Amino acid sequence: MQGAQPIILGISGSERAGGNTDLALEYAGRLVHERGAEFRTIHLRDHRISPCSPCGDCNSRLTPCELRDDMPAIVERMKQADGIIYAAPVHGFGLAHLMQIFIERAGVGFLRFERPLANKVGGIIVTGRRYSEASVHNQLVDNLLLNRMILVGSGFPALLRNTGPEPRLQDTEGLEALERMVHRMLDMTLLLRRHQAATGEPVLPLDDRNERVARPPRELTPAVNTP
Ligand SMILES: Cc1cc2nc3c(=O)[nH]c(=O)nc-3n(C[C@H](O)[C@H](O)[C@H](O)COP(=O)(O)O)c2cc1C
């Protein structure tokens, strides 16, 4: 996270190489590069990611998931990024299975102990034909907030529609929303970096990382107390 250029990581949950989701993420990547930042991509379909097993002890265990697959390496790559974009298609009125499996494994298996994505900037792209994109988007919003990531308001959500069989970026309004989202993510990333460089402190405290542990007391600063 402290390299020369900000790093935005795009995670694609589409099983279709070169499909609508990949095209949308590539477009986001071009915008990131144009701003002089680095864009990295993870295609979940290229990785070995097991679904959650029947062990069912995620909520009680104190150590990360023991399933041996690519998840720990992916989580490490997420930790290196300043910002993360989840990009996923809608399948059967819900989140397509690759992304669903991924957020289950990442969340309960790895991220819930220390919330290492806290204060990273989050973004979401959902591709679909027209049915339930908003509820899939809402699910991913909840997931980013659960991980204490920073969501930057940027106007309409980046929901990209294509009703044809061929992959295509044809949804002008959706693309405008995507552009705004990427630019606002980068603006926020730069703001956070400037704050960190100037103060040596994270912009929001990181001492409250686990919702299962009592929240540390907070006092208003004198500046805030002063009428
Ligand atoms: C199995 C399957 C189920 C789908 N279900 C929905 C759906 O419920 N709602 C919707 O709007 N689109 C649905 N679609 C369309 C895809 O969300 C849409 O084509 C998306 O852009 C595909 O992304 P991709 O090209 O990256 O695979 C479905 C597509 C597939 C293959």
For 103, phi then psi, to 5°, come to -70, -30
Out of 126, 129, 135, 137, mutate this one to test ligand 1's pocket (max ligand atoms within 8 Å of CB): namely: 129
Domain presence at residue 83: yes
Domain presence at residue 1: no
Q: Using a 6 Å cutoff on CB, does residue 16 contact ligand 1?
A: yes
Residues ≥6 apart with Cβ < 8 Å to 74: 42, 47, 49, 102, 106
Q: Using a 6 Å cutoff on CB, does residue 167 contact ligand 1?
A: yes
| 128 C-alpha to ligand 1 centroid (Å) | 5
Domain presence at residue 196: yes
| 158 C-alpha to ligand 1 centroid (Å) | 15
Domain presence at residue 164: yes
For residue 30, what are the domain limits?
Answer: 7-225
Three-state DSSP class for 88? strand
70-107 pLDDT tens trace: 999 999 999 999 999 999 999 999 999 999 999 999 99
Question: What CATH number did the domain enclosing 175 receive?
Answer: 3.40.50.360
170-220 pLDDT tens trace: 999 999 999 999 999 999 999 999 999 999 999 898 888 888 888 888 888
Question: Is the separation of the CB atoms in 223 and 43 below 8 Å?
Answer: no
Domain presence at residue 2: no
Domain presence at residue 159: yes
- Please report how many Cα atoms fall inside a 13 Å half-sphere around the Cα of residue 112, on the Cβ side: 19
Rounded to two decimals, what is the model's pTM?
0.95
Give the whole-angstrom CA distance, residue 130 versus residue 218: 44
Three-state DSSP class for 172? helix
